[in-house]
Amino acid sequence: MVTVVDYKAGNLTSVMKALRFLGAEVCVATQADELERATRIVLPGVGHFAATVRLDRSGMTAAIRGAIARGVPFLGICVGMQWLYAGSTEAPEQPGMGYFTEQVTRFPDGAEDGAEKVPHVGWNQLELLRATPLLKGVESGDFAYFTHAWRADVSQETIVTTQYMGQFSAACQRGNVCGVQFHPEKSGATGLKILRNFLEMAAC
Amino acid sequence: MLTRRVIACLDVRNGRVVKGVQFVDIVDAGDPAELARRHAEAGADEIVLLDITATHEGRATLLETVRRAAEQLFIPFTVGGGIRTLQDASAVFEAGADKVSLNSAALQNPELISEIGAEYGAQAVVVAIDARRDAAAQDPVRSARVFTHGGRRDAGLGVIEWAREAAQRGAGEILLTSMDADGTRAGFDCALTAAVSRAVNIPVIASGGAGSVEHFAEVFTSGCADAALAASIFHFGISSARVLKEQLAVQKIPVRLPC
């Protein structure tokens, strides 16, 4: 069973569809008590970082912290990954969950001639820094689909980097807590591999 | 490296593809769900489904079509045509679309762009612009006008002006169709695409006029397009997005390969 957290930040359909396609039993949590017995948690997010305030208000932030402490595997996608950090300049008044200490910042404004645009949209390559079970079968040079204007710098929890206006953290992991800046549910075979690996990740 | 996207487009009417690709071994060439899947397997980076159905019954068919197409589609999926309200958009998202494409509805009610963006994120809103050069103007490219009703009616504003406004209102991407080039197979309007691409800081998808690999190479270089739409081109000598991209790669254009 995998619990997908719904905090009204965009569309859950694609993520749930991909997880079900991989054979997972999927349920949706909209409040804290629904996370108490979760055995695997996915936090999607395609909206504004400010929307994560709903995780705090609903008590789900505390519930997710509790689940992580119990060893429940956790995967944050896009804004869901960014939320793992201390905060984002997209919504400076709204703190992140703070599992990682860094700040999420915006790409610098693009070149005047439109050569490098913000947001970063499209298929870009992954560069693996560490081989973790989440990345089993994935190789450097494989492509994933990105769509975002904010990103985390490369730091010690970074397991995958991608190049766009410099290197940024495309995936991060420490123990049972993982985040991906790209959309595995929209990244073809590579993305499905990563989701399958997550579904097979052991609790720790 | 961020790659240039080749997007396969399906034109659908009452739940059937009205033009587009006919794969040799396909069971039912008119079924959008099957075609969407085939395109994904054949290396397309993204799928766009444009619905030209006008009837109410047709709209229900569309949602069912989107649902079936999205079922096993794990690349970005955009749906456009007849989306006039946030509710219309919500229904399409719930059926499995990742982005909606707005055209005349965004012109009539520009606030729809930010309204949908606030709910589903800016990345989920594509603003489609049908553009025509103003042949009489001193600079026909920079003076290009927005048209509606399949290029028959002047919407009363400039393409660059509208692209900028759409971006400011929070559009995630611009889908720019050149009415002059559309259907000619003589190449994309690279000058117009470049002018729009330089005027906004969001991705621009070029559409209209594709007839050869060279046309894609041109629009990705001199046209500054971030992505290009391919529909009927697969009828004319290029069998799939993969083949197209392999030939673009030879010309040093960054594309997603293998795919």
- Under the banding of pLDDT at 50, 70 and 90, the label for residue B16 is confident
Tokens of B144: 């290009």
Residue of B nearest to A124 (CA): B2
* Residue that has been written with the tokens 């059926």 in this structure: B95
Burial of B142 (0-12, 13-18, 19+ CB in 10 A): middle
The alpha carbon of residue A76 and the mean position of all alpha carbons in its chain are separated, in whole angstroms, by 3
B160-182 pLDDT, tens digit each: 999 999 999 999 999 999 999 99
Mean of per-residue pLDDT scores for chain A: 94
The CA distance from B64 to the nearest CA of chain A, in Å, is 15
DSSP H helical ranges for B10-103: 32-41, 56-71, 86-94
DSSP H helical ranges for chain A: 13-21, 53-57, 60-69, 79-82, 188-200
Does residue B13 surpass a pLDDT of 90?
no
In what order do the strands lie in the sheet containing A26-29? A26-29, A2-5, A41-43, A74-77, A177-180, A167-174, A158-163, A127-128
Q: Is A199 on the interface with B (CB under 8 A)?
A: no
What are the domain boundaries of chain B? 5-250
Task: For residue B235, give the H/E element and its range.
Answer: none
Q: Which of A114, A124, A186 sits opposite B3 (nearest CB)?
A: A124
Reported CATH class of domain B5-250: alpha beta
Tokens of B143: 């003076």
- Under the banding of pLDDT at 50, 70 and 90, the label for residue A26 is very high
CB contact under 8 Å between B200 and A145, yes or no, is no
What is the pairing mode between strands A177-180 and B77-80?
unpaired
Average pLDDT over residues A188-198: 98
> What is the phi-psi region of residue B14: left when phi exceeds 0, alpha when psi lies from -120 to 50, beta otherwise?
left
Does residue A111 surpass a pLDDT of 70?
no
Mean of per-residue pLDDT scores for chain B: 91
CB contact under 8 Å between B2 and A122, yes or no, is yes
- Under the banding of pLDDT at 50, 70 and 90, the label for residue B54 is low
Mutate to test the interface with B, among A8, A11, A163 (most CBs of B within 10 A): A11
Does residue B96 surpass a pLDDT of 90?
yes
**Cβ(B83)–Cβ(B100) below 8 Å:** yes
Burial B15-27 (b: 16+ CB within 10 A, else e): bbbeebbebeeee
pLDDT of A84 = 98
* Residue that has been written with the tokens 């391919």 in this structure: B230
Q: Is A51 on the interface with B (CB under 8 A)?
A: no
Does residue B18 surpass a pLDDT of 90?
no
pLDDT of B149 = 80
Alpha carbon distance B209, B192 (integer Å): 13
pLDDT of B183 = 85
Q: Which of A13, A117, A123 sits opposite B201 (nearest CB)?
A: A117
B234: nearest Cα among B259, B211, B209, B257? B211
Report the interhelical angle of B159-168 vs B190-199 (nearest 10°).
40
A133: number of Cβ within 10 Å: 13
B64-73 pLDDT, tens digit each: 999 999 998 9
CB contact under 8 Å between A117 and B226, yes or no, is yes
**Cβ(A112)–Cβ(A169) below 8 Å:** no
pLDDT of A38 = 95
B248: number of Cβ within 10 Å: 22
Tokens of B167: 């971006």
Tell me the C-alpha to C-alpha distance, in Å, between residue B144 and each of A53, B76, B174, B176, B208: 43, 30, 15, 12, 15
Q: Is B3 on the interface with A (CB under 8 A)?
A: yes
A63-109 pLDDT, tens digit each: 999 999 999 999 999 999 999 999 999 999 999 999 999 999 999 97
**Cβ(A131)–Cβ(A171) below 8 Å:** no
Does residue B236 surpass a pLDDT of 80?
no
pLDDT of B31 = 87
Instruction: Map out the domains of chain A with their CATH numbers.
Output: 2-200 (3.40.50.880)
CB contact under 8 Å between A114 and B201, yes or no, is yes
**Cβ(B135)–Cβ(B146) below 8 Å:** no
Which regions of chain A does DSSP assign to beta strands (E)? 2-5, 26-29, 41-43, 74-77, 87-88, 103-106, 120-125, 127-128, 143-148, 150-152, 158-163, 167-174, 177-180
What is the pairing mode between strands B204-207 and B173-178?
parallel
Average pLDDT over residues A188-196: 98
Mutate to test the interface with A, among B5, B74, B93, B197 (most CBs of A within 10 A): B74
* Cβ contacts of A189 within 8 Å, gap of 6 or more: B74
**Cβ(B70)–Cβ(B77) below 8 Å:** yes
CA dihedral B167, B153, B142, B11 (to 10 degrees): 60
Range scoring the smallest mean pLDDT among B16-20, B49-53, B102-106, B195-199: B16-20
Q: Which of B71, B121, B227 sits opposite A46 (nearest CB)?
A: B121
For B:169-228, CB contacts with A below 8 A are 172-173, 197-203, 224, 226-227
Chain A residue numbers with beta carbons less than 8 Å from the beta carbon of B256 are 123, 143
Q: Is B163 on the interface with A (CB under 8 A)?
A: no
Alpha carbon distance A107, B76 (integer Å): 22
Range scoring the smallest mean pLDDT among A62-66, B193-197, B210-214, B234-238: B234-238
- Strand-pairing partners, residue B102, are B127
pLDDT of B85 = 95
Mutate to test the interface with B, among A117, A194, A196 (most CBs of B within 10 A): A117
Active-site residue flag, A120: no
Alpha carbon distance A31, B199 (integer Å): 44
Q: Is B30 on the interface with A (CB under 8 A)?
A: no
